[in-house]
Amino acid sequence: ARLTELNEWAGAPREIPPPALPDEMRQALKEIVSTAGFFNVVKTYIPNSTLKTTLLHEFKGQGKSIDGSGASATTTTLLYHFQLGEFLGAIYDDNPQRQGLVSPGLYVPVISPKELTERQPDGVLILAWRYVEPIVKRHHAYLQRGGQFIVPLPNLRVIHEHRRDPAATASH
């Protein structure tokens, strides 16, 4: 909707120009608009947040370790929105410029994905959920050693290696 005001001298309505914004505010608005799709997805799945944290509480309650995968700006939003920071020991990220840093405010260390095989956490929460397929393919050896990927969005799921029961294969 456009704002108009009555121009007393001309007797006709005219458009009111938008207020001038400082450069910092203009940049912040651009960032919000560019991530609007992400926020819409998060808003859509807010009801599942309890389920997500319940699963992570179960992991931690069983003494299992959980790391994250993907240290983007949207990751920070996910960590705060779903209060996930307390569950993570580290976050793996392919970008060398992010490795050696910590997540903003939560101080979860960001490390190289090469360390996944050394750390072998019980679960890896895929924070870059749009890249599930390439992440799982790249780290198939982690799954083969008993690891699990936890995918929080768009629907909560756990990916693990399907192993055949040795007793079942012996009877055939």
What is the pLDDT at residue 115?
95
User: What is the longest distance spanned by two Cα atoms in the chain?
Assistant: 96
**Mapping DSSP to helix (H, G, I), strand (E, B) and coil, where does residue 150 land?**
strand
What backbone phi and psi angles, to 5 degrees, belong to 44? -65, -35
pLDDT at 40 over 60: no
Which residue shows structure tokens 């309505």? 13
pLDDT for 98: 94
Report the pLDDT averaged over residues 23-28: 56
Report the pLDDT value the prediction gives residue 53, as an integer from 0 to 100: 66
pLDDT in the model for residue 74:
83
Q: What is the pLDDT of residues 123-159, one digit of tens each?
A: 999 999 889 999 999 999 999 999 999 988 877 888 9
What residue type is assigned to position 10 of the chain?
A
The model's pLDDT over 46-70, given as tens digits with 9 standing for 90+, comes to: 445 555 667 788 888 888 999 999 9
Judge whether 79 and 85 are in contact, CB under 8 Å.
Answer: yes
pLDDT of 19: 52
Q: E-strand spans in the chain?
A: 4-7, 12-15, 66-69, 91-92, 110-111, 123-126, 148-151, 157-160
State residue 73's pLDDT score.
80
Residues in the chain: 172
Tokens found for residue 66: 């959980």
| Apex 149 CA angle, 144 and 155, nearest 5 | 140
Average pLDDT, the chain: 75
> What CA–CA distance (Å, rounded) separates 101 from 111?
8
**Structure pTM?**
0.66
Query: Is the model's pLDDT at 82 over the cut of 70?
Result: yes
CB 159, CB 149: distance < 8 Å:
yes
